[in-house]
Amino acid sequence: MKIIVLFGKPGAGKGTQAALLKETFSLVHISTGDVFRANIKGNTPLGVMAKSFIDKGELVPDAVTVDMLSAEVEKNPDAKGFIFDGFPRTTAQAEALDALLEEKCLKVDATIALVADDEVLIERLLERGKRSGRSDDTDALKIRTRFEEYNLKTAPLITYYSQQGKYQEVNGIGEIESISAKLAAIIEAL
């Protein structure tokens, strides 16, 4: 079973690449955003709890997020592996993910960061905002704030996973197929 963590700044292509890798390697794609939306829409106990924080403009506590992700893993007992997209976002979340997987006799095999220049990502996100209507993708200042949040909270994952020998980078700018091929080569080598 392969467990992959895909991360990078907003707009780096995580969702696009995760969807392609899911198909290529028959992995279960676990997108934190999708899991939140499904639990909230389904009015599950965890969804109700998450919504109570989101409605107040607060971050959903790690424990709630980990419980949702644990439920997703348990829903797929015959999975060949998982690709996590959007989680972990902090070192504390990475430690919680490691603990969750260890309970299931699993481990993260690789973390792959999609890296790209901020200005390119801002253009990409502003364009996405025109199509998606996502308010957080329509304002360059809000996008820069998200990048600052990433640099402060998520970038330390580079050190966390590098110390475990599980960190690699792929340039997130270029042809989708070319990026996919680079990601696939990393996964195949596991």
- Whether the pLDDT of residue 67 is over 80: the answer is yes
CATH number where 110 lies: 3.40.50.300
pTM of the entire predicted model:
0.88
pLDDT digits (tens, 9 = 90+) for 124-139: 999 998 998 777 889 9
pLDDT of 166 reads 97
The per-residue DSSP string of the chain comes to: -EEEEEEESTTSSHHHHHHHHHHHHTPEEEEHHHHHHHHHHTT-HHHHHHHHHHHTTPPPPHHHHHHHHHHHHHT-TT-SEEEEES---SHHHHHHHHHHHHHTT----EEEEEE--HHHHHHHHHHHHHHH--GGGS-HHHHHHHHHHIIIIITTHHHHHHTTT-EEEEE-SS-HHHHHHHHHHHHHT-
Closest CA to 90 of 176, 14, 155: 155
**Given 14, 22, 124, 166, the catalytic residue:** 14
Beta partners for 82? 3, 28
| Among 2, 9, 89, 166, the one annotated catalytic | 89
User: How far is 104 from 95, CA to CA, in rounded Å?
Assistant: 15
Choice among 75, 80, 134, 144 that is catalytic: 134
Active site residue 144: no
Tell me which of 128, 142, 153, 182 is the catalytic residue: 128
Q: Which residue segment(s) compose the domain that 157 sits in?
A: 2-188
- In the chain, how many domains are there? 1
Query: For 87-97, what is the mean pLDDT?
Result: 93
How much is the pLDDT for 58?
75
Q: Is 131 a catalytic residue?
A: no
Q: Residue 117 and residue 133: Cα distance in Å, rounded?
A: 23
Q: Is 128 a catalytic residue?
A: yes
Question: pLDDT at residue 59 above 80?
Answer: no
Mean model confidence pLDDT for the chain: 92
Confidence bin at 36 (pLDDT 50/70/90): confident
Quickly state the pLDDT bin for 56 (edges 50, 70, 90).
Answer: confident
